[in-house]
Structure 1
Amino acid sequence: MLQEKIKVVISDLDGTLLNSDHKISQYTKTVFQELHNQNYLIIIATGRHHLDAMPIVAGLDVPVYLVTSNGARIHSPEKELIFSYNMESEAVKSVLSLDIDPEITTVLFRENVWQTNKHNEKLNEFQPEVNYHPELVDFENLEDLSAIKVFFTHDRHSKLIELRDQILENHTGLFSHAFSLPLCLEFMDKSVDKSVAIARILELENFVFQQALSFGDGYNDEKMLNSSGKGLVMGNAPDSLKNKLSHLEVILTNDNDGVAKYIAQELLNN
Structure 2
Amino acid sequence: MRTMIVSDLDGTLLDKEHKVDAFTAETLQTLAAQGYAITIATGRHFLDVRGIRAALGVPAHLITSNGARVHDPEDREIYAENIEPELARALMQPDVSSGSLLNAYVDEGWLVERECEELVGVYYKDSGFGYQVCNLAAHSGEGIAKILYIGEHQALTEIESRILARYGDEVYITFSAHDCLEVMAPTVSKGHALTAVLARLGIDAEHCCAFGDGQNDIEMLAVAGQGFVMANASPKLKAAHPNLPVIGSNEQHGVASQLRKMFNL
How far has the Cα of 1:131 moved from its partner? 3.9
How far has the Cα of 1:63 moved from its partner? 0.9
| Equivalent position SS for 1:171 | helix
Task: Measure the CA separation in 2 of the matches of 1:137 and 1:55.
Answer: 24
Q: 1:90 touches 1:146 (CA, 8 Å); kept in 2? A: no
- Cα distance, 1:180–1:241 mapped onto 2, change above 3 Å: same
Task: Measure the CA separation in 2 of the matches of 1:103 and 1:137.
Answer: 18
Task: Measure the CA separation in 2 of the matches of 1:172 and 1:236.
Answer: 29
Q: 2:94 touches 2:137 (CA, 8 Å); kept in 1? A: no
How far has the Cα of 1:160 moved from its partner? 1.0
1:84-163 matches, within 5 Å, as 84-97=80-93, 99-100=95-96, 102-124=98-120, 125-129=122-126, 131-155=128-152, 157-163=153-159
Letter in 1 for 2:146: K
Letter in 1 for 2:41: A
Task: Measure the CA separation in 2 of the matches of 1:259 and 1:127.
Answer: 21
| Equivalent position SS for 2:144 | coil
Task: Measure the CA separation in 1 of the matches of 2:39 and 2:251.
Answer: 21
How far has the Cα of 1:205 moved from its partner? 0.9
1:176-187 matches, within 5 Å, as 176-187=172-183
Task: Measure the CA separation in 2 of the matches of 1:92 and 1:105.
Answer: 16
**Does 2:264 align with 1:269?**
yes
Task: Measure the CA separation in 1 of the matches of 2:118 and 2:23.
Answer: 27
Letter in 2 for 1:239: P
Q: Return the TM-score normalized by structure 1.
A: 0.92
Task: Measure the CA separation in 2 of the matches of 1:239 and 1:8.
Answer: 26
Correspondence for 1:58: 54
Correspondence for 2:76: 80
Q: 2:195 touches 2:223 (CA, 8 Å); kept in 1? A: no
Task: Measure the CA separation in 2 of the matches of 1:212 and 1:179.
Answer: 24
Q: Return the TM-score normalized by structure 2.
A: 0.94
Q: 1:232 touches 1:248 (CA, 8 Å); kept in 2? A: yes
Consecutive unaligned residues in structure 1, runs of 5 or more: none
Q: 2:6 touches 2:208 (CA, 8 Å); kept in 1? A: yes
Correspondence for 1:175: 171
Task: Measure the CA separation in 2 of the matches of 1:115 and 1:97.
Answer: 15
How far has the Cα of 1:121 moved from its partner? 4.0
Task: Measure the CA separation in 1 of the matches of 2:129 and 2:26.
Answer: 27
How far has the Cα of 1:71 moved from its partner? 0.7
Letter in 2 for 1:35: L
Correspondence for 1:237: 233
Task: Measure the CA separation in 2 of the matches of 1:42 and 1:55.
Answer: 16
| Equivalent position SS for 1:248 | coil
1:191-228 CA-to-partner distances (Å, cap 9, x unmatched) read 11111111111111111211111000001100111221
1:45-98 CA-to-partner distances (Å, cap 9, x unmatched) read 110000011101111211111110011111111111111111122111112235
Q: 1:199 touches 1:208 (CA, 8 Å); kept in 2? A: no
Q: How many residues align?
A: 264
1:221-268 CA-to-partner distances (Å, cap 9, x unmatched) read 0011122111001111123432332111111010111000000012x2
Consecutive unaligned residues in structure 2, runs of 5 or more: none
Q: 2:96 touches 2:162 (CA, 8 Å); kept in 1? A: no
Task: Measure the CA separation in 1 of the matches of 2:199 and 2:80.
Answer: 17
Task: Measure the CA separation in 2 of the matches of 1:73 and 1:205.
Answer: 17
Q: 2:41 touches 2:67 (CA, 8 Å); kept in 1? A: yes
Q: 2:99 touches 2:155 (CA, 8 Å); kept in 1? A: no
Q: 1:6 touches 1:213 (CA, 8 Å); kept in 2? A: no
Q: Say which is worse superposed, 235-244 or 185-194, in terms of deviation.
A: 235-244
Correspondence for 2:187: 191
Letter in 2 for 1:231: G
Correspondence for 2:249: 253
